[in-house]
Structure 1
Amino acid sequence: MAFGVISEIGYVALHTSDIEQSVAHAQDILGLKETARSGNAVFLSSAAKRHHEMVYIDAPAHGVGQIGLIANGKPGLDTARRRIRDAGFPIISETALHPGVADGFAFVGPENFLFEIYIGPESAGIIPSGHAPDRFGHVNLHPQNLQAMLTFFVDILEFRVSDIIGDDFAYFLRCNAEHHGIALMKGKGWMHHHAWQVQSIAELGKVGDRLHEHDLRLLMGPVRHGAGHNIAAYYVEPTGAVVELYADLEHIYDDERPPVIWPKDDRAWATKWSIYDFSEFRSHGLFPATEAVAAK
């Protein structure tokens, strides 16, 4: 149930200086399945069986490539293209950056984050792994200029605000009935995490076991968030980005529901079950890449 120009969050592309390590980690720990390779890019998907929900691009340094947003049909794509151009954001490609979609365009958004808005994601004929997540869900960005990023998503792309944390500290934004597809938290100017939906809290225990088998560990969780109500667990992937697996995310079916407002010092917005040292949690992230914008 989309209400604006964007219908859902489509994919995230990450640059990696060790692409085989990143791909192996995504397959062994997260449970993604490789769907295709093209030039310097590897495409992967969850049980959703799309051409790509994750793209790893072989590059000199780690970084965030593009964040893919699926438009609400051809009218949504045309409207988004016009609004982005009118707002003065640099267009880097008038056509889709990657194979596996019908049409799209890419541009440089606030704080040099790269976005691709597209339609027609293709399916992939893969057999999901036994521990594949259901699908890609959302990204969490930590912009330095929080209001500029908020204006971009709300005024230009028609996201709605689900929850507000503190006085200009964090916003959870939705483009459909799911509580958030984009989360914004004032920070260093990087992407903190990309998030994947799983069936239940049992899957969060299993990812902890898989990490242990690889001499790794969870960064945080399982936790029950107050904002969004989802149960989640987090770990750090080889690029330095954080990965979230979550279940039981709140859905909002009233398009006009006012935002829930949380005091910043009320830790229940972040975790209802326990208290964590968020200094380590927030110390991980990945800055926007400056090279190898698209697969070649």
Structure 2
Amino acid sequence: MGPVTIRTSNLDLSIAEQTHVLGLHEVARDGTRVSLAGVGGRPELTYVATDDENSLELLGLIARDGDALRTVRSRIEDEGLRIIRANPSTPGAPDGFSFVGPEGFAYEVMLRPGAGPAQPDGFGPKRYGHFNFHPENHRSTVEFLTTVLDFRISDTIGSGGSNGYFLRCNSEHHGIAVLRGQGTFHHHAWETQSLIDLAKLGDRLHDLGRELLWAPVRHGAGQNLACYYVEHTGAVVELYADMEHIYDDDRPPVEWSDGSVWWNEWSTTTGYLPSGFREYGIAPAAAH
């Protein structure tokens, strides 16, 4: 999984928020583009200042090597998808390109960026882990991700995946969650090594006069413990720990019914999912 790039109507606020709340630190700045990282120094989240409404610019993916990068680009060209940049926008990435995929969601495929300055002190998540988005035609998006980009299906939600899929590109249970929705990007998620960090995130939000959107929760799909808050742009941020890992590439997908505990193993009663939780999110900029 590579960096997420978000267009923000208030760059200073977005940077301050993720620095003081999530614990990221700045690793690169180029005019109106600022890249942030967790404890490590590789760019994992980039904000771009814009006068337009907040939107999603790019979803980043890391190619295994140069041969894999060339293979993906050839597949994208064969699919007739529009390439919007022939070189990487992510600082430190030695090679890469960007294209517009299904429903206007743009992707940047790159070779792994070099490491920048590590977190000198304070707090912060271990790394960026996954994202969740809500395409209108989620099945065609999953077909694209699995056939063109080689993601594997970990779990399906609803009969035959009628409501969603969890996909992986490494051993972690999911790098992308695809849930049927209104064509928006919902959240970016960050891994922490300590469950105590989930509580500390809630404390920091409280000190700022804010609150968690949902927490604590043990998801059935992925088995991770998680908490969520809403960032300035309208996208949601997740901090999680204890994610399931899958080491068998041929493991059959786990099938979850809509009424099961795939959302939350700790509560199946009415209201176990916060009202309006899935209504948050931002539209892809390439679709505008």
Q: If the length of structure 1 is used for normalisation, what is the TM-score? A: 0.93
Which residue, out of 176, 200, 224, partners 1:182? Answer: 176
Query: Which residue is equivalent to 1:103?
Result: 95
Query: Which residue is equivalent to 1:40?
Result: 32
Amino acid at match of 2:187: H
Distance 1:25 1:206 in 2: 15
Distance 2:148 2:120 in 1: 36
- Answer whether contact 1:101 1:118 (CA < 8 A) is retained: yes
CA drift of 1:200 comes to 2.1
Query: Which residue is equivalent to 1:56?
Result: 47
CA drift of 1:129 comes to 4.3
Query: Which residue is equivalent to 1:90?
Result: 82
Distance 2:286 2:165 in 1: 26
Instruction: Note the 1:132-143 alignment, pairs <5 A.
Output: 132-143=124-135
Query: Which residue is equivalent to 1:21?
Result: 13
Runs (5+) with no aligned partner, structure 1: 1-8
Aligned alpha-carbon RMSD (Å): 1.3
Say whether 1:164 aligns with 2:156.
Answer: yes
Aligned residue pairs total 282
SS state of the match for residue 157, structure 1? coil
Distance 1:109 1:254 in 2: 28
SS state of the match for residue 206, structure 2? helix
Amino acid at match of 1:65: E
Amino acid at match of 2:21: I
Instruction: Note the 1:1-296 alignment, pairs <5 A.
Output: 9-50=1-42, 52-60=43-51, 61-167=53-159, 168-266=162-260, 268-274=261-267, 275=269, 276-290=272-286
Amino acid at match of 2:10: D
- Which region of structure 1 is more displaced relative to structure 2, 65-74 or 123-132? 123-132
Q: If the length of structure 2 is used for normalisation, what is the TM-score? A: 0.95
Q: Percent identity?
A: 48
Distance 1:215 1:272 in 2: 29
Distance 1:79 1:128 in 2: 38
CA drift of 1:290 comes to 4.4
- Cα 1:182–1:128 change in 2 (3 A) is farther
- Answer whether contact 1:11 1:55 (CA < 8 A) is retained: yes
CA drift of 1:36 comes to 1.6
What are the Cα deviations for residues 171-213 of structure 1, in whole angstroms up to 9, with x where unaligned? 0000011100000000010111000000122110000000001
Distance 1:203 1:127 in 2: 16
Distance 1:70 1:128 in 2: 25
